Amino acid sequence: MKATTIVLERGAHGPDNGVCLLEAAARQAREKHDHPACVSPVIAAYGRVLNDSLNDEDRQLLVPFIPQLIGTSKVSIATERRRAFLAVDWSIRRMMPIWLEAFGWKDDAEKLRKLDPITDDSSADLAALAARADARNNLRDTAIELLAAMIAITDPPEGRAA
C-alpha cells in the first residue's frame, strides 16, 4: 500500500471499505485493526481524534505521516509520558487560548499562553488549576449573560406580529 494512493476517511472501517489514519498505519505494518501495536498509544489516541475531527480535504494532510507512525511504540515509558505531557501542554497553552479568544476572553487566553511548559505532573496540575479558574469565571459570566438574554425575550405587544 503506497501512502500516496490512500484517501483517509472519518471513523472506523472494515477491511474492504476505506481507512482512517490508524487503520492505514496498521495495514502498512501488516496489522489487522485500528489499534496497531506498532503505534504509540498516546500518538494513536491523538491521531484518531485528529483524523475524525478534520474535514475530508484537510484529513488528507495526514497521509504523509502514516509511515512515520509505524514504530513509534518502541519507546520507553518515560518517552511516552513526555509525548502525553506535550499533548496536554499544546492543548492548554496553544489550543485552549484560541477558543478563549474566539469568545472574546483575550486576557484569559494570554494567561494560559504565559504558563510554564507542561512537562510533568506538577506543571500539569498548576496548568489545570489555572485553566479551570478561567473556565469557571468565563462560564459563570456567560451563564449570567444567557439568563439576561432569555429574560429579554418576551411576547410582542398585543396586535403586533412576532
Q: Does the pLDDT value for residue 3 go beyond 70?
A: no
Cβ(76)–Cβ(91) under 8 Å? Answer: no
Q: Average of pLDDT values for 84-90?
A: 92
- The tens digit of pLDDT for each residue in 34-83 reads 789 999 999 999 999 999 999 999 999 999 999 999 999 999 999 999 99
Q: Average of pLDDT values for 10-24?
A: 81
**Mean pLDDT taken over the chain:** 87
The predicted structure's pLDDT at residue 162:
59
d(CA 17, CA 33): 13
Which helix or strand (DSSP H or E) is residue 58 part of?
A: helix 56-59
Q: Does the pLDDT value for residue 10 go beyond 50?
A: yes
> What does DSSP assign to residue 155?
P
How far, in whole angstroms, is CA 158 from its chain's centroid? 49
Cβ(20)–Cβ(52) under 8 Å? Answer: yes
The least confident of 8-17, 25-34, 96-105 is 8-17
- The closest of 78, 84, 46 to 65, measured between CA atoms, is 46
The predicted structure's pLDDT at residue 15:
64
Determine the 3-state secondary structure of 8 from DSSP. strand
Q: Is the pTM of this model over 0.85?
A: no
- The tens digit of pLDDT for each residue in 134-157 reads 777 777 777 788 888 888 888 888
What is the number of residues in the chain?
Answer: 162
Orientation of helix 21-28 relative to helix 41-53, angle to 10°: 130
Cβ(130)–Cβ(112) under 8 Å? Answer: yes
The least confident of 14-18, 74-78, 82-86 is 14-18
The C-alpha cell at 14 is 472494515
The C-alpha cell at 22 is 490508524
Q: Does the pLDDT value for residue 2 go beyond 60?
A: no
